[in-house]
Structure 1
Amino acid sequence: MKRLFRSRQAHSPPPDVEDDVALLAAAAEGRVEALRTLHTRHAPWLRMRLSRRCPDDDIVDEAIQDTFLAIWNSAGRYAPSRGEPAAWMWTIAVRRLVSLLRGRGNRWIGSGVPLEDVQVPEGSVEDVVMLKLGHGDLATALQRLSPELRAALQATVLDGLTVREAAILLGIPQGTVKTRVMRAKARLREHLA
């Protein structure tokens, strides 16, 4: 159990929000060491979470690079009232990944690779569950959802964003996020029944 707990800790965003706010302020002033510290602190968990959405390591690495370039260029626009720094960075990272994937075809998780052909990593239970989520009946049901419903469900349920954060990420009102998640869950129940 201790090994499992340590593994999850390694993939979670750090809890020191105030320090991240100070680092973003320093990056806004042009201090490269602040960006370097943010990268060291956040790139590993961003990479892990983006890898759940895209199996191509090169695209994920490019998205991470684009993310930190965007953070460097827009650190002065971060406002603590809009959410935690980690959520803000995650929003940027997801948008960068989506932009990269648009021109390269659909490589989202659940792309139809048989589960037998997938190597299960020695990681946390969360990693194993997320990997298996991309295969089998649930993956098929998720693929049957419209892109709008799937995106709302993925942002709130799989990625753990709040409704407010998902609304900002998806560029839609909070009520629309709630409605889409409710509809997505109902459709999943129908497909899995």
Structure 2
Amino acid sequence: MRHGEVDETGEPTDAVLLRAVADHDRQAFEALYRRHAAWLAVRLRYRCADEALVDDIVQETFLSVWRGSARFRAEEAGGVPGWLWRIASRRLIDALRGHGARARLVQALGRSPDRDQPSAEELVLAGVEHGDLAGALARLSPELRAVLQATVLDGLSTREASTLLGIPVGTVKTRAMRARRQLREELT
């Protein structure tokens, strides 16, 4: 292999592996998977306590790479790891949005359905859904709510929220600041 096609350990670079995967090279795909699946699963677990869902998301991410439905562009920020993270985080958000907030919370907490007393987390969620905060959130503009959803509820970084929402990073920061200010005014 030529210089630039191998990393400092002598292994093929991610770009080389992706070109081979595009030609359906199973060994290249397995090498890419071994290189990235573990850290991707760990990072997803910071955002979702459901290990089965995280495992499914990792598999779906790599399946989309294998099928070619996800296309890497060399100019993408973060290189191949950033690209894989964006695919996985979007799939996780889509999966979580498919469930109701209460179902996600119960699933994340592992609460058995036969427990009579709600947990502290469930009480907080009920306050968010039905209390003063819920009203204040409902009064936010859709643009401000979307930024809070992405950065606070979904736990995305400013850059990830920017990519997800299709707006500049500075706009995400400005909207988040405006949303916090508006919530603070309404709740004090």
> Shorter-normalised TM-score: what interval?
0.5 to 0.7
1:130-149 alignment, distance < 5 Å: 147-149=145-147
CA distance in 2, matches of 1:190, 1:90: 35
Q: Does 1:50 align with 2:44?
A: yes
Q: Is the 8 A contact 2:17 2:28 kept in 1?
A: yes
Asked if 1:71 corresponds to 2:65, the answer is yes
Are 1:54 and 1:108, in contact at CA under 8 Å, matched by a contact in 2? Answer: no
Q: Trace 1:1-193 onto structure 2 (pairs within 5 A).
A: 19-74=13-68, 77-83=71-77, 84-106=79-101, 111=105, 147-154=145-152, 159-160=156-157, 162=159, 165-183=160-178, 186=181
Which structure is higher in RCO with an 8 Å CA cutoff and minimum separation 6?
A: 1
Across the aligned residues of Structure 1 and Structure 2, the Cα RMSD in angstroms comes to 4.0
Contact kept in structure 1, 2:158 and 2:173, CA below 8 Å: no
4+ runs deviating over 4 angstroms: 143-147, 158-161, 184-193
Bigger helix share:
1
Unpaired runs of 5+ residues, structure 2, are 1-7, 112-120, 138-143
**Where do 5+ consecutive residues of structure 1 fail to align?**
1-14, 118-133
Any conservation in 1 of the 2:151–2:161 contact (CA below 8 Å)?
no
Identity of aligned residues (%): 40
Question: How many aligned residue pairs are there?
Answer: 153
Q: Pick closer, same or farther for the CA change 1:42–1:76 going to 2, 3 Å.
A: same
Q: For 1:108 and 1:173, how far apart are their aligned partners in 2? A: 32
- The normalised TM-score by structure 2 is 0.60
Please give the secondary structure, in 1, of the residue aligned with 2:90. helix
C-alpha distance in 2 between matches for 1:186 and 1:68: 40
Instruction: Please tell me the residue identity of whatever aligns with 1:180.
Output: R
**Could you tell me how far apart the structure 2 residues matched to 1:108 and 1:169 are?**
24
What's the secondary structure of 2:177's corresponding residue?
helix
